[in-house]
Amino acid sequence: MKKGLKLITLAMCMAITNTACGRSTSDVENTLDEKEQLLIWSYYETEAQANGLDKLTASFNKSQDKYQVSWEYVPMTEFDKKISRAYTEQELPDVVIIDNPDMKKFIQLDMFEDISEYASTLNLDTDYYEASVDTIKYNDKYYGVPFNSNNVCLIYRSDLLKAAGVTSPKTWDELSETAKLLSKDGSYGFLMSAMDSEQGSFQLLSWVMAASDSDTQLTREAISESYDYLAGLIKDGCMPADCLNYSQTDIARRFIEGDIAMMENGPWVFPMLDEAGISYGLSPMPMNKRNAVILGGENLGIIKGKNVEGSIEFIKYCMEQGGTERFCSDANLLPSRIKSANKIIVDNPKLEIISQQMNYAIPRTGIDGYSRISKQLPKSFADVVTGELTPDEAAGKTLN
């Protein structure tokens, strides 16, 4: 009798256990199905950036039960076109991680949600880099939040400069002299990106603004002087003409290979350099009339008419629960919140030079006519390199 009771009890327990297990699996599936889906577009292409964004989205998904966020890669060269095309076809994501100079033109097209009510809780105007905040404001309203901030610096091969008995150059004249010393036997003293894209415009513009007295006006004289200087480096054999074809990632690869002594680049390539195990140093961009760098970095923007509530929750996670700081630490980027940036610099002192240059970083959104001029900058510089135009003629073409 006892044996029979035990068997009945065991059978009941197994039935209960199996039922519970079945319900648990179903609950998990239902939970995933019931979660509201959020989609992010980003052009992040380095391994550190992609891995960092993977971790950020995964941690957000684990932090709550209502939303499931995923991200999709869109090449930077196609980003603007894809947003415009998707807008027409109603296939937009919920959130974009967008290059900060592109933000205002899409705001003016009424594509981003006004999130001023939430943004007012973040003390953006006091706690964040001023130049970065400028890129998400329009008519005193906020249409996004700064995600990270950056600029370019001079990165040099410590071993090559040491062997040549020189230190990192501080001015344009010093850069020319140092590059000549380091250019020999198929190697070049300097390399930058001047490709026909926003990356090329971004890199060229730091030179133009260093030759200018204004943060908002591009003058023919400043453009001509910078074109003449950079084309001179190519003519003297200090920089390969291939700079017209190289992205910022491409020039980092050349730098790692060892035939480039110095390059203009930003913190997004530091992980590549560290992984390669090379010895490198950092210094500010060489000055001409003044020190100047162009503000880089990305903003988070919510597409108008999409899942605004869920997107705000994702942004809150980034801005208030350490999501941005963890991502920037993983991706080797500088948060736009000054306190967070200072915290990351303690663990990653290489970012200090980027932070210091933020004191005079110039936002492209504040430059008159930049959206039009940026498309012409690398094209006109290429005309100088190929000898089709003089620097002055190319400068005139850039502005007209």
The answer to whether 293 and 131 have CB atoms below 8 angstroms apart is no
Written in H, E and C, the secondary structure of 207-271 is HHHHCCCCCCCCCHHHHHHHHHHHHHHHHCCCCCHHHHCCCHHHHHHHHHHCCEEEEEECHHHHH
The radius of gyration of the chain's CA atoms, rounded to the nearest angstrom, is: 25
Task: Please give the pLDDT value at position 33.
Answer: 65
Domains of the chain: 36-150+296-358 (3.40.190.10), 153-294+369-399 (3.40.190.10)
Burial of 182 (0-12, 13-18, 19+ CB in 10 A): buried
Please, which pLDDT band fits residue 84 given cuts at 50, 70 and 90? confident
Amino acid at 350: K
Distances (CA, A) of 146 to 61, 297, 388: 21, 8, 40
pTM of the model: 0.86
Q: What percent of the chain has pLDDT over 90?
A: 87
Please identify which residue in the block is written with the tokens 């020999």. 184
Q: What percent of the chain has pLDDT over 70?
A: 92
Q: Residue 11: is its pLDDT beyond 70?
A: no
What is the chain's mean pLDDT, rounded?
92
- Spatial CB neighbours of 129, under 8 Å, sequence gap ≥ 6: 146, 149, 336, 338, 341, 358, 361
User: pLDDT digit string (tens) for 57-68?
Assistant: 999 999 999 999
User: pLDDT digit string (tens) for 315-354?
Assistant: 999 999 999 999 999 998 999 999 999 999 999 999 999 9
b/e per residue 6-39 (b: at least 16 CB within 10 A)? eeeeeeeeeeeeeeeeeeeeeeeeeeeeebeebb
